[in-house]
Structure 1
Amino acid sequence: MAGNPRHDGTPGGPGATGTRPGATGTPTGAEPRPGTPKAVGIVWGLLVLNTLGSAGAKTIVPLPRSLIQMVTMGALVAAFALALALNLRLRVRPGAYVSLLTLLLVPSVISSAYLESGFGALFRCTRLALFVGTLWLLSRWWDGGLTFVRHHIRIYFAVLGSVAAGAVVSPGAAMPELYGGRLVGALWPLTPPQIGQYAAVIIGLTVLLLVGRRTDRASAAVVIVLSFVLLALTHTRTATLGLLIGLTLAIGSLVMTSAAARRFFAWAVLIAVVAAVAFNSALQAWFLRGQSQENFSNLTGRAKVWDALLAAPRTGSEQLFGVGLGDKSYGGLPIDNSWLAVYHEQGLTGTALVVAVFVVLGGVALLRPPSLHRACAIFLISYCAIASYTEAGLGDASPYLLHLAVAASLLAAPAVTAPPPTPAVPRRRLPGRARESEVT
């Protein structure tokens, strides 16, 4: 994205406080706060790399899964080390989101300690602890600004760039018959739902920045058009619905205060109606992806896995704390539902903590006055809530936790340092008058 991130762009907002004569942009009565280091973007990129995963389609150059896991885990260790180097004094901003993720480690460790899911469960607990620890270290720079939104867009756009490059180099490998001709990662093993998720999230955030006039139209057009093409090629229904519903809620939160949001909303409704009438059959064919009505009704076989998981007998400990962090599968088949995956691996305790995450973030967003930052947070929260029905990842280190971390950074109150103490002014000594200490 072009342009430098600004702390706040709303007139009269937190970044528009008054200044003393002769001051240069420093809020009255406060010290100038240092900006976010550029290396924070590198840390965020390493976190994204860690959450890309190691399972997916066959790549043009075969990559051993052990090598991919080494790269992704090494990225997390490097992210934690770099974040620690940037924040050696361990200055953090306590918040509900990172606190709830820290509490989520408790049922994860308790259930994984029984080794019912193998030693891999303890490894995943360590990964989650490093992931949450890195977010704690980065929370120092969560000040309600758009910095992390811009990092999010740039990094995921780079990931989508690798997907597009793979499609150009080898179209057959990028759209294999194994996935029904849907777009996959040919350079890095990414599945269609992953690509669709990344595309939908950065489309939504870029549209909101464009509505809020925080980016130029040329840069926004490049990001939106390329991402939309890739989203269409993945045939990912969940990501598409999450994008549409999330954007509707986010822009709806701006309609009463932004003329640009009202214009965009009106044009979007008009275009949607025209497209629905003119391309009804094509849209229906894209949405069904050639599936039968029965296969579509049971969510491509997901419902059978969900029913089996819920019907399985569980001990009291397993109901409360789960069976330990695993690969989000049951009976060898993916669970593909965040709530059931958390219930299976972290029990009712983990499920309650994830519910609390959405309640807290959603409640804070609703209580904030209308703004672009609030709209971006609403989009991310609503997208993750919608995607959680057919995608897993809310209970472990995943892109969804990164999306919610960006929302938490947007909802954080701007940090203002305490004003420096006013130096004492020496009293002038009048000639011909004795000091008080000399008066007896």
Structure 2
Amino acid sequence: MAAGTQRTNPPRGGLPRALDSAVGTPGEGMRPPGTPKAVGVVWGLLGLNTLGSAGAQTIFPIPRSLIQMVTMGALVGAFALALALNLRLRIRANAFVLLLTLLLLPSLISSANLESGFGALFRCARLTLFVATLWLLSRWWDGSLTFVRTHIRMYFVVFSSVIAGLVISPGAAMPELYGGRLVGALWPLTPPQIGQYAAVIIGLTVLLVLGRRTTGRSAALIIVPSLVLLALTHTRTATIGLLAGLVLAILSLVLSSAAARRFFTWAVLCATVTAVGFASALQAWFLRGQSQEYFTSLTGRAKVWDALLDAPRTLVEELFGTGLGDKSFGGLPIDNSWLAVYDEQGLTGVVVVVTLFLVLGGVALLRPPSLPRACAIFLISYVAISSYTEAGLGDASAYLLHLAVAASLLATPATAPVLEPSATSRTAPSPAPEGVRRHVPRWARR
């Protein structure tokens, strides 16, 4: 070691430092110098807005109107803070946010008819603020892992409230109304929501371990609790999306990462042994005590889907939908993003959402193998699979936040501005390199 240098060891300690280590290490992938820390606060406020207001009964009853005030206040605060951080309105051209802006068109056209009531216009205003905040944040989308770390931290805070509710009142956290599945006892969160957040955290943290952005011990502090919560929610869609997304993401790293090849080999071996040895237990977990017929009908969702598709519609409703609503039909939840977009934003909205996935997927496939590309592939794959039994692609939701993280990972790094040469540098000749003889014209030698 050269004289005057000193070896530094990584910090060890409690959960905050371990969490920082689990979501990024100094070097590539850390927060760029030009990214303010307040950007993470804006992202957390956007996540708070997407938590929703409908869920199980909490330990301390919270009026729904108060929850809606908190969530909408978080969105307004996120937009105001993002605007304060980006007063000059410097944004980056981004196809993802542009397509979300185009999605506002059918939303406004269909909601202006007030067929879904004044709530449709309110939801349009909410979606407009959401998209505007993403435009303001696009200035800091540079292909780094900045928003991945922020995403993990945000949902880990949400998990802290879920774990606290489970410890305080296990009966309220796993009520019989939901079949003993885990819900939010302090904040009204449904089992699919908790399963979704757990799957996203697990997938991103596993990829950070494979990319050597964290240690196994630090990552275990996030992965192990998340796996326990995912198992307690009995969320099949989140589990399938997690496994399929990780397979696609790791396969994108296999040719360039030896750690990814080893992990994939051991994962396939362990999955095979688990499937053979615990087949009956896995089947019971997936069925959740339901009959085979009820399971094949996707817990009654197919009946709602058939009724929605058979309902008569005018040409305007076919093209632009009936307006932004609560993602239900006939008083029952739709639980399908594509049918929800078709119902509320028509075929125009479906075309925009399909184009959104094609653009993100195409850009991800054209990028060279890297950890940001693998994280983006995982998020895109997870959202695409989950959209079959969950709604949210046509409105401000956690699914759009996942895709926004993927868009930030696929963005090209910002280039340094080219400085204009000064008047002196334009007129003064540049000195000749050392050891090179400058040619002097004959008229100058005289």
Instruction: Name the TM-score, length of structure 2 as normaliser.
Output: 0.89
Determine the structure 2 residue equivalent to 1:270.
Answer: 269
Q: What is the correspondence of 1:201-350 to structure 2 with a 5 Å cutoff?
A: 201-350=200-349
1:427 to 1:194, Cα distance in 2 relative to 1, 3 A? closer
Q: What is the alpha-carbon distance in structure 2 between the residues aligned to residue 117 and residue 274 of structure 1?
A: 51
Residue 20 of structure 2 is aligned to residue 2 of structure 1: yes
Q: What is the alpha-carbon distance in structure 1 between the residues aligned to residue 234 and residue 224 of structure 2?
A: 16
Determine the structure 1 residue equivalent to 2:121.
Answer: 122
* Structure 2 residue identity aligned to 1:258: S
SS at 2:281 equivalent: helix
Q: What is the alpha-carbon distance in structure 1 between the residues aligned to residue 272 and residue 114 of structure 2?
A: 54
Q: What is the alpha-carbon distance in structure 2 between the residues aligned to residue 174 and residue 140 of structure 1?
A: 40
Write out per-residue CA displacement over residues 77-98 of structure 1, whole angstroms, 9 at most, x where no aligned residue.
0000000000000000011100
Determine the structure 1 residue equivalent to 2:389.
Answer: 390
Shift of 1:6: 6.7
Q: What is the alpha-carbon distance in structure 2 between the residues aligned to residue 199 and residue 35 of structure 1?
A: 30
1:39 to 1:343, Cα distance in 2 relative to 1, 3 A? same
Consecutive unaligned residues of structure 1, counting only runs of 5 or more, are 16-32, 429-440
* Structure 1 residue identity aligned to 2:199: A
Shift of 1:417: 2.1
Q: What is the alpha-carbon distance in structure 1 between the residues aligned to residue 26 and residue 347 of structure 2?
A: 39
Shift of 1:280: 1.0
Q: What is the alpha-carbon distance in structure 2 between the residues aligned to residue 147 and residue 410 of structure 1?
A: 9
Determine the structure 1 residue equivalent to 2:369.
Answer: 370
Q: 8 Å contact 2:175–2:181 — kept in the other structure?
A: yes
Write out per-residue CA displacement over residues 33-86 of structure 1, whole angstroms, 9 at most, x where no aligned residue.
842100000000000000000000000000000000000000000000000000
Shift of 1:255: 0.3
SS at 2:20 equivalent: coil
Consecutive unaligned residues of structure 2, counting only runs of 5 or more, are 1-18, 430-446
Shift of 1:357: 0.5
Q: 8 Å contact 1:6–1:147 — kept in the other structure?
A: no
Write out per-residue CA displacement over residues 7-57 of structure 1, whole angstroms, 9 at most, x where no aligned residue.
9739xxxx9xxxxxxxxxxxxxxxxx8421000000000000000000000
Determine the structure 1 residue equivalent to 2:400.
Answer: 401
Determine the structure 1 residue equivalent to 2:91.
Answer: 92
Q: 8 Å contact 2:364–2:373 — kept in the other structure?
A: yes
SS at 2:401 equivalent: helix
Q: How many residues are treated as equivalent by the alignment? A: 407
Q: What is the alpha-carbon distance in structure 2 between the residues aligned to residue 144 and residue 308 of structure 1?
A: 43
SS at 2:96 equivalent: helix
Determine the structure 2 residue equivalent to 1:30.
Answer: none
Q: What is the alpha-carbon distance in structure 1 between the residues aligned to residue 246 and residue 204 of structure 2?
A: 9
Q: What is the alpha-carbon distance in structure 2 between the residues aligned to residue 115 and residue 207 of structure 1?
A: 46
Instruction: Name the TM-score, length of structure 1 as normaliser.
Output: 0.91
Write out per-residue CA displacement over residues 152-173 of structure 1, whole angstroms, 9 at most, x where no aligned residue.
0000011011101100110000
Q: What is the alpha-carbon distance in structure 1 between the residues aligned to residue 263 and residue 379 of structure 2?
A: 19
Q: 8 Å contact 1:7–1:146 — kept in the other structure?
A: no
Aligned-residue RMSD, C-alpha: 1.5
Q: What is the alpha-carbon distance in structure 1 between the residues aligned to residue 173 and residue 25 of structure 2?
A: 38
Determine the structure 2 residue equivalent to 1:163.
Answer: 162
Write out per-residue CA displacement over residues 119-178 of structure 1, whole angstroms, 9 at most, x where no aligned residue.
000000000000000000000000000000000000001101110110011000000000
Q: What is the alpha-carbon distance in structure 2 between the residues aligned to residue 200 and residue 281 of structure 1?
A: 23
Shift of 1:219: 1.8
Q: 8 Å contact 1:337–1:392 — kept in the other structure?
A: yes
Q: 8 Å contact 2:24–2:214 — kept in the other structure?
A: no
Shift of 1:5: 4.6
What fraction of aligned residue pairs are identical, expressed as a percent? 77
Shift of 1:216: 2.1
1:228 to 1:125, Cα distance in 2 relative to 1, 3 A? same
SS at 1:2 equivalent: helix
Write out per-residue CA displacement over residues 176-227 of structure 1, whole angstroms, 9 at most, x where no aligned residue.
0000000000000000000000000010000000000111222210100000
Q: 8 Å contact 1:295–1:301 — kept in the other structure?
A: yes
Query: Mean Cα displacement is larger for which, 399-408 or 270-279?
Result: 270-279
Q: What is the alpha-carbon distance in structure 1 between the residues aligned to residue 208 and residue 231 of structure 2?
A: 22
